[in-house]
Structure 1
Amino acid sequence: MQRVALDWAVLEASGSAVLVGIATMLQFGPLLVFGLLGGAVVDRFSRRSLLVLTQGIASALSVVLGILHLSGAATLPVLLVASAARGLLTVVDNPARHAIVGDLVGRDLMPAAISLNASVFQLGRLIGPVLSGAAIASIGAGWSFVANGVACALMVIGLLRSRPDEMFEEPRSASDDGIGQGLATVRAIPLVGWTIMLVGIVSVSALNLPVLLTSLARESPGTGALDYGLFTTLCAVGALIGAVLLAHRPFVSFTRVVGAAAVLGVVQTLLALPDQLVTAACLVGVGFFGQTFLTSSNAFVQRSVPSATRGRVMALYLMLLLGGQALGGPLAGLVVEHLGLRQAIAASGLAALTAALATAMVVRSGRGPVVSEDTGPRSAVER
């Protein structure tokens, strides 16, 4: 709700789509620049305490922004400063929210918990923009900020009510070498490195649907805006189905990660076919296999690394995931403009498929050292 309301508020205050893009950059840019440093902080201190702090600050920022907007005092500089403040919080908040999953449920239940979290996230993608749009139209965008402030406060209450003595936290070490230890962990567990590399490549090549879908909607015979909403909904439905099914079948492996990336590439390549029924089916498939790939890769990486460096490894994972999407969007736009829409869609799918097959071949040939694919209770380092 807040993302939609903030974009709308910036657009109203400035009338500039460029400034809307700048506001988005301010929300995600700090994580790309300082992500590894944030991961080191997450591994040094209690993740529960860090999240209480970051979510508490986020709650206060949202409520204050909501009050300012409702009172008419939320000028463009205020909105941009709020965007930058949220972006700085994500440097610690994002890796902490990923890494704390294992602390809360333990290594065995981690894949199911990550899938459950993904299903809730997809529900938010479906419901949040609708609620925010209704709020903007009826009572004003400021109430979306207030609603998000309440949501963050509820997370703080939940964290405070959790019992640290029942969590699966491992002792923090003050003697490691900060950021370097996270990179050393990735080098020591080759399949984790290959997985994170594949996530980065697929993010650049295939996870750029907003650019492709807007162009596809513009070419469709119906109403462009309505078609874009329908396309996005079909993807979200597929992603929700994938997340729910993975929550019931939580086993993860490197093979599943690579397989999901390969099938995603095939389905996205077929999306280039000019047939409405094929387009609808492929959009659901892209959502399903895209979510399967991201959830499986997330769970595989987290279960394969020791808790002491999980925050730094997940920070690197998120940097490549978000950085890849940031790079992939403009790249996809250039391909659409110079080669055509259908060619751009096919190229994005083929690139993901090629990356998956190449990764599998390199690992199987022995040039990429392999550890066991089994993600049992012990970490790959411990095995």
Structure 2
Amino acid sequence: MRRIAMFRSLAVRNYRLYALGQLLSNPGTWMQRIAQDWLVLQLSGGSGIALGMTTALQFLPLLLFGLWGGALVDRLDKRRLLICTQSVMGALAVALGVLATAGAAEVWHVYVFAFALGLVTVLDNPGRQAFVPEMVDREHLSNAIALNSASFQLGRVTGPAIAGLLIALIGSGPVFLINGASFGFTIIALAMIRTAELTTTEPVPRGKGQIREGLRYIGGRRDLVLLLVLAAATQFFGANGQNQIALVVNNVFEAGAAAFGVAAAFLAVGALIGALLAARRDRPRIRLVLIGSMAFGLLQVAAGLMPGYVSFVVVLVPMGMAFLTYVTTLNATFQLSVDPQMRGRVMSMFLLVFMGVTPIGAPVVGLLADAFGPQASLVIGGTVTVLVVAALTGPLFRVHGVRVRDLLPGRRRTAAAAPAPAEEAGAGRAPDGHEADGATAAGPARGTGGLGRPPEDAVTRT
């Protein structure tokens, strides 16, 4: 019965088609990441600066235009938008693949490709986040988000391995071509979706100040602000875990590329397990966001203290599980607790914080590793994460009407019996006639000085 519950969102035809398209396309995405890095190293003579520049150019559009992209997503038909973005991303992959296969590719070609791909993801990322709630109802949303993460992590496990074999056999160019073709699976799935079965949100009319409106909405929701702070602090070091693992494997244990591949695979396997476990849960819980992020920080510290390669790799499995528990629960919390007409802008801010700290944290991780050693950088990063989570636990529980002491054994019933914050503030309906996700028809609940709170049926407080 629990196995059926783990995949319950697949009972929805539209989501089943979308999930299948993603499942077939995700390995291609990871194959391209490996091929892109390898191509840059080949063309630049092994330059680390060139590799870092490629990553920075791919993230730069998100930092510059992420909020604008979210505002535009709220005004557009999500399915048509995704067909367009997936088509452009496929065309970009094919173009670079043709250049690389013909032996005409240069480093600046990859720079242009990375920047163009980043521009498309400004719309594609929040578009995909906002489209899932249109395919499934609230009851299945948390499960659908977890299955999306599981599909992504499965691609992360299989894609690099396939890419490594293909690059050795036929070179980087054909790998780009294969990824370009893989976008066809998602495009076909989106085309087959029955629009009449979608719970579409009425597009926001074009107007001035929509980005400011989104920022005001988030600023009026103290729970979202605190969760964004938590995401930024955790991701600052966590998002660069792959770099830390590479440095530890190479510099400390003096193992080769194969050993690094095994370590990365162990982390991905743990992440896949974490995503599948998250799919078994009916609703996101703030408690799980905090437990997952706290466990991730503690396991970072443990990984940094491991004396040998084998023990280090073993710790990466639960570390990946903790990270995906935190990520999937946090994502579902945002999706379920915001006004549908604000979802694109809120999720663009979430992605801006969640992914935007990566290029900022990368040089800090590098400096710490150079100054104190790669293992010390893991210990420092994990310690910072633990301290931040500990500092935010009390405020987050207060926002959700739960006292930390109520979580002790014998006090759980008291916490569960507490009145729902949204009920205290008054529940309303969104402009499209659906239950307002944490907001009244006039805007976010402001029963306590502008403090917007998610409804009890959206995010379980403990």
Moved over 6 A (4+): 366-371
Deviations 1:320-355 (A, max 9, x none): 111222222211222222233333222211111111
Q: Secondary structure at the residue paired with 2:139?
A: coil
The amino acid across from 2:389 in the alignment is A
* Residue number among 335, 343, 350 corresponding to 1:317 in the alignment: 350
Distance 1:101 1:36 in 2: 19
1:94 is aligned to: 125
Q: Provide the residue aligned with 2:43 in structure 1.
A: 13
Rounded Cα–Cα distance in structure 1 between residues aligned with 2:41 and 2:373? 29
Match of 2:262 in 1: 230
Q: Does 1:116 align with 2:116?
A: no
* Cα offset, 1:219, TM superposition: 4.5
Is the CA contact (8 Å cut-off) linking 2:340 and 2:436 kept in structure 1?
A: no
Q: Could you tell me which of 220, 239, 251 is aligned with 1:207?
A: 239
Note if contact 2:401-2:421 (Cα within 8 Å) is conserved in structure 1: no
Flag the 1:359–1:67 CA change in 2: closer, same or farther, 3 A: same
Question: For the Cα contact (< 8 Å) 1:122–1:239, is it kept in 2?
Answer: yes
User: What residue is the counterpart of 1:54 in the other structure?
Assistant: 85
Determine the C-alpha separation between the residues in 1 that align with 2:253 and 2:206. 62
1:360 is matched with 393
Structure 1 counterpart of 2:69, from 38, 45, 54: 38
> Measured at CA, do residues 218 and 70 of structure 1 come closer, stay the same or move farther in structure 2, by a change above 3 Å?
closer
Deviation sequence 1:293-340 (CA, Å, 0-9, x none): 111111111111122111111111111111222222211222222233
Aligned to 2:160: 129
Query: For the Cα contact (< 8 Å) 2:293–2:389, is it kept in 1?
Result: yes
Aligned 8 A contact 1:303 1:379 in 2: yes
Task: Give me the whole-angstrom Cα distance separating, in 1, the residues matched to 2:76 and 2:320.
Answer: 36
Asked if structure 2 preserves the Cα contact closer than 8 Å seen for 1:254 and 1:373, the reply is no
Runs of at least 5 residues in structure 1 that lack an aligned partner in the other structure:
none
Contact 2:145 2:332 in 1 (8 A): yes
1:271 aligns with 2:303: yes
What is the aligned counterpart of 1:326 among 353, 356, 359?
359
- Map 1:1-383 onto structure 2 (within 5 A): 1-15=31-45, 16-174=47-205, 177-221=209-253, 223-276=255-308, 278-364=311-397, 372=421, 379-382=437-440, 383=455
Query: Compared with structure 1, are the counterparts of its residues 248 and 366 closer, same or farther at alpha carbon in structure 2 (3 Å cutoff)?
Result: closer
Q: What's the offset of the Cα at 1:147?
A: 1.3
How much has 1:378 moved relative to structure 2?
Answer: 5.2
Quick one: higher RCO (CA 8 Å, sep 6+), 1 or 2? 1
Contact 1:231 1:283 in 2 (8 A): yes
How far does the alpha carbon of each residue in 1:162-213 deviate from its partner, in whole angstroms, 9 at most, with x for none?
A: 1111111111221663112221221233212211221011011333212321
Give the CA deviation at 1:138.
1.0
1:291–1:366 CA distance, 2 compared to 1 (3 A): closer
Give the secondary structure class of the aligned counterpart of 2:116. helix
Asked if the contact 2:240/2:365 (under 8 Å) is kept, the reply is yes
Q: Which amino acid aligns with 1:44?
A: R
Q: What SS is found at the alignment partner of 2:239?
A: coil
TM-score, length-normalised on structure 2?
A: 0.77
Give the counterpart letter for 2:53 in structure 1: I
The 3 A distance-change label for structure 1 pair 147 and 367 is closer
What does the per-residue CA deviation read over 1:81-136, in whole Å, with 9 as the maximum and x for residues that have no partner? 22221111111111111111111112221111111011111111111111111111
User: d(CA) in 2 for partners of 1:291 and 1:373?
Assistant: 28
Q: Which moved more, 1:269-278 or 1:183-192?
A: 269-278
1:150-169 C-alpha deviation (Å, 9 max, x unpaired)? 12122111111111111111
CA distance in 2, matches of 1:43, 1:263: 35
Indicate the SS of the match to 1:109: helix
- Runs of 5+ unmatched residues, structure 2: 1-30, 404-419, 424-433, 441-454, 456-462
Farther-moved stretch of structure 1 (118-127 vs 274-283): 274-283
Percent identity of the aligned residues? 34
Change (3 A) 1:178 1:369: farther
Report which stretch shifted further, 246-255 or 88-97.
Answer: 246-255
Q: Which amino acid aligns with 2:32?
A: Q
C-alpha RMSD of matched pairs (Å)? 2.4
- The one-letter code sitting in structure 2 at the alignment partner of 1:26 is L
Deviation at 1:366, TM superposition (A): 6.4
